[in-house]
Structure 1
Amino acid sequence: MSVLVFDLDGTLVSSMEDLVVTLNIVLTANGHREVPQEKVVHMVGMGARILLQRGLEFNKIEWTDEMVDPLFRHFLDHYAANIAVHTRPFEGVEASLETFRKQGWKLAVCTNKAERLTLPLLDALDLAKYFDAVVGGDTYERSKPHADPVHGAIERAGGTVEGSIMIGDSGTDINAARNAGIPVIAVDFGYTPVPVSELGPDKVISHFDELGAAIDTLPGLKR
């Protein structure tokens, strides 16, 4: 059984504003400068802890794990309480997911966002109903770009690696797909510091209504 494995932030949902607000609330509460949104766009994709580390580096702080730990807890608590103030699915997401389910695809989310944040966000946006499996950044010992969470998402969705596809927006997603041995389609409206086409995906789309056609052009795909 083939699985479509989706990244979350910057792929399925536009979440940047809520991430920026939470990051800057945590930083300013601890005496640091806010990070402009245009900078935060280049910091996301590896989970909240690394986002905080990069926020401290923006402030020229030589951070330690002991320094980051309380900030991380503050971030998780605030973000969980404000999980979808501004976050919304990208245009065409719901219609595409519905179509793929009707076509017989299994669907999974594989994100570096913690499970305790991912599941409530999907519920808040009424997206959870589409997915057969959800894997967060802390579901397994290793997160993307390692293959483990991608393989885990496919297995939990009841599928096999052969015929499965990753859809993401960043080098983290592309490398995870490569490590997992599956093709990857990238969206060009997500969060990456360079054009995603330069990162070597198999296909690039600019809208979710292009995804079906992109899947059909992947060579050797077996359903």
Structure 2
Amino acid sequence: MVRSLPETVVFDLDGTLVDSSPDLTAALNVALDAVGRPAVDPVTVRHLVGHGARVLIERGLALSGGGDEDVIARALPAFLDYYRAHVADSSQPYPGAEAALDALAAAGTTLAICTNKPVALSRALIAALGWNGRFAANLGGDSLAVRKPDPAHLLATIAAAGGTVARTIYVGDTAVDVAAARAARVPVIVAGFGFADKPPAQLGGDAVIDHFDALIPTLTRLKGTVSHDAY
């Protein structure tokens, strides 16, 4: 039987499946306050996310003059402690995300998460959303010695989910995601509603979706144009 959908779909988490910007903003501002820095507005924070907690802190500090290792060492624990306790206070799946995940699972597609978020926090967010059991693999930014945009992070996620590169499509929202997918030779769909700091169409993905209602038709189209012989 010829499949109309890819065997495996790997997702980024923040800005792709979940709008976590309210809780990330709150945690960042707690961290900045801990080192005497001014708060950052939620719109700005959306464009700072994508490389993990430490880089988010560094980028937040850069908005008010930067910070050395001592400042980062004080700010980062404040961020992590607060965020662990408030990981899903206001974070919500994007409209249509759960329905799309359900449809993919019903079609026999294996789902996985590849995020630069620390894996414990990724798991906590997944659990808080009631999504335990949905994903065959969940690799965070500290699961390996490397993280996105290094392709090894995405490749390891595919392997952990029991998938193969030729039968996988990735869904992310930032240049980091596109770079990782390109280096791993995996087709990539850009979530146009996410946290990118430039227009989604300029990120270089194979397709852009503006709502999860478009995900399955886009996956079907891309699957028909790449690695067809693998199926």
Q: If the TM-score is normalised by the length of the shorter chain, which range does it land in?
A: over 0.9
The residue number in structure 2 matching 1:97 is: 101
Which structure 2 segments of 5+ residues have no match?
Answer: 1-5
The residue number in structure 2 matching 1:137 is: 141
Match for 1:18 among 11, 16, 23? 23
For the pair 1:220 / 2:226, whether they are aligned, the reply is yes
What's the CA shift string for 1:100-157, capped at 9, x where partnerless? 1111111100000001100010000012221000000110111101111101110110
In 1, the alpha carbon distance for the partners of 2:132 and 2:50 equals: 21
SS in 2 for 1:130: coil
The residue number in structure 2 matching 1:65 is: 69
SS in 1 for 2:14: coil
* 2:35–2:71 Cα contact (<8 Å) kept: no
SS in 2 for 1:126: coil
For the pair 1:172 / 2:176, whether they are aligned, the reply is yes
**Matched pairs, number:** 222
SS in 2 for 1:162: helix
For the pair 1:39 / 2:44, whether they are aligned, the reply is yes
The residue number in structure 1 matching 2:33 is: 28
Using structure 1 for the length normalisation, give the TM-score. Answer: 0.96
In 2, the alpha carbon distance for the partners of 1:123 and 1:169 equals: 22
* 1:28–1:34 Cα contact (<8 Å) kept: yes
The residue number in structure 2 matching 1:149 is: 153
Report the more deviating stretch, 168-177 or 27-36.
27-36
SS in 2 for 1:217: helix
The residue number in structure 2 matching 1:108 is: 112
What's the CA shift string for 1:5-38, capped at 9, x where partnerless? 1000000001001000110111112211111222
* 2:173–2:200 Cα contact (<8 Å) kept: yes
Which structure 1 segments of 5+ residues have no match?
Answer: none
SS in 2 for 1:122: helix
Using structure 2 for the length normalisation, give the TM-score. Answer: 0.93
Aligned-residue offset at 1:66 = 3.1
* 1:2–1:162 Cα contact (<8 Å) kept: no
SS in 2 for 1:77: helix
Runs ≥4 in structure 1, deviation > 4 angstroms?
Answer: none
Q: Which amino acid aligns with 2:19?
A: S
The residue number in structure 1 matching 2:90 is: 86
- Percent of aligned positions with the same letter in both sequences? 40
What's the CA shift string for 1:40-93, capped at 9, x where partnerless? 1211111110010011110113x2223212311111111001110000111111
In 2, the alpha carbon distance for the partners of 1:20 and 1:37 equals: 6
In 2, the alpha carbon distance for the partners of 1:154 and 1:205 equals: 22
Aligned-residue CA RMSD (Å): 1.2
SS in 1 for 2:167: coil
